[in-house]
Structures are given as C-alpha cells and as structure tokens.
C-alpha cells in the first residue's frame, strides 16, 4: 500500500535532489554559488511543481487506512531518497577526479547488483521469457547507458549544474507522454516546461561564465 500519492512522492524526490546536491557541493566540494544559480534552482523547482503537480494528483492515497502520519512518512522517505542520491552524486564527483567515467559507473552498479542479488533470487519464480527482454532493456538503456552519460557530464561540469539538469527528467517524460501516448498537457504543464527550459539556460550560462 503506498504511503503517499505517486505525484507528490515523485515531486518531493525530484525537487529535493538539486537542493541537496547544492548544499553538499558547497559544503564539501567548495563549489561557488552565484545569483544565477539561485534563480536557476528556483525556476527549476517551480517548473517541476507545475509540470508534475496536477491539483487532483498531489494528494495522499485515498484509502481509508491511510492517515496523515503515513503520508508524512511517505514524503520523508522521498526526501531520504533525494538525499541519498545527492550523496551518490557528490561521491561520484570526487572519484571522477581520479578515475575514468566507465570505472566509476561500473563499480557503482556492480556493487548495487551484488547488494540486490538476494531480491532477484527471491523473485526468480516471477521471471518469464516475456518479461526478460524488458528487464534487460531497463538494465542496459535507462540504467547503464543513462548513468554513463550522466557521469561524463558530471566530470565536465559542476555537481550543482549536474543536479539542476536532472530536473529535465520530468520534462522529457511529459513530452514522451504527450507525443507518444497522447496524454493531455495543461497550461500549468506548459508554463512549467517554459520555466524548466529557462532554468537550464540560466544554469549553463552561469557555468560557462565561471569556467
């Protein structure tokens, strides 16, 4: 049973990531903060809120047994997820100064695969030949390749910039939903997309000036 709605969970997790990364990068990597960075972060977070948060979807699960406490717990876990991911980005950034991109990615996911292997063993009875190609795709394309590309960008730019760029994920998902699945896009989503594009533009402009 979900502790909180899908939309609010995704919203909290996605929006918290660049904020956590910024705080950690300033504290541990000594990355500078500029006025443009604050503006970019603000526009990005507001843009994601408008893009993801439809009024009818940002709510706790509408079940009788769901309470405010479980909803808060769900949001807390989403925040924890964002923080843990931010720590991963900071650690990866430090290691990328001494190691190759592919090495960092391979070590990260090999460790993850080892830790998650007991879950795979427990679920092996649910695997079918039909689901196997899709599982392989999930492992190769949106996981391995996506993170290799992300590590390449993280090595070339600041952790703060890489964190803000992560906010493009809901925009990409929205555009795929609109053009591939025919999902509706409301005016709030359009405004959110415009703010997100503006945030990324300001972020890259600031990054070029500081480099």
Of 72, 52, 71, which is closest to residue 171 (Cα–Cα)? 52
CA 55, CA 115: separation in Å to the nearest integer?
38
- Ordered per-residue pLDDT tens for the chain, 211 residues: 455 566 677 788 889 999 999 999 999 999 998 899 999 999 999 999 888 775 545 444 454 445 666 767 888 888 999 999 999 999 999 999 999 999 999 999 999 999 988 888 887 777 788 888 998 999 999 999 999 999 999 999 999 999 999 888 888 888 888 898 888 888 888 999 999 999 999 987 776 665 5
CA 71, CA 4: separation in Å to the nearest integer?
5
CA separation, residue 60 to residues 13, 74, 170 (Å): 15, 9, 20
pLDDT tens-digit profile of 80-110? 999 999 999 999 999 999 999 999 999 999 9
pLDDT tens-digit profile of 20-49? 999 999 999 999 988 999 999 999 999 998
CA 104, CA 100: separation in Å to the nearest integer?
6
| pTM given for the model | 0.85
């Amino acid at each position: 049973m979900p502790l909180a709605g899908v939309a609010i969970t995704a919203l909290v997790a996605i929006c918290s990531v660049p904020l956590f990364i910024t705080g950690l990068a300033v504290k541990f990597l000594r990355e500078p903060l500029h006025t443009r960075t604050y503006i970019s972060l603000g526009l990005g977070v507001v843009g994601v809120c408008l893009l993801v948060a439809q009024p009818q979807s940002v709510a706790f699960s509408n079940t009788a047994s769901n309470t405010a406490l479980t909803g808060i717990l769900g949001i807390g876990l989403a925040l924890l997820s964002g923080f843990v991911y931010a720590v991963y980005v900071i650690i990866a950034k430090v290691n990328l100064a001494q190691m190759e991109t592919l090495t960092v990615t391979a070590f990260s996911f090999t460790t993850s695969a080892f830790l998650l292997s007991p879950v795979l063993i427990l679920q092996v009875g649910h695997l079918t030949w039909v689901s196997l190609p899709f599982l392989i795709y999930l492992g190769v394309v949106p996981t391995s390749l996506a993170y290799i590309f992300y590590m390449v960008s993280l090595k070339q730019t600041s952790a703060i910039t890489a964190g803000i760029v992560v906010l493009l994920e809901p925009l990409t998902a929205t555009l795929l939903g609109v053009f591939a699945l025919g999902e509706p896009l409301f005016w709030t989503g359009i405004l959110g997309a415009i703010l997100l594009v503006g945030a990324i533009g300001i972020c890259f402009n600031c990054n070029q000036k500081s480099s």
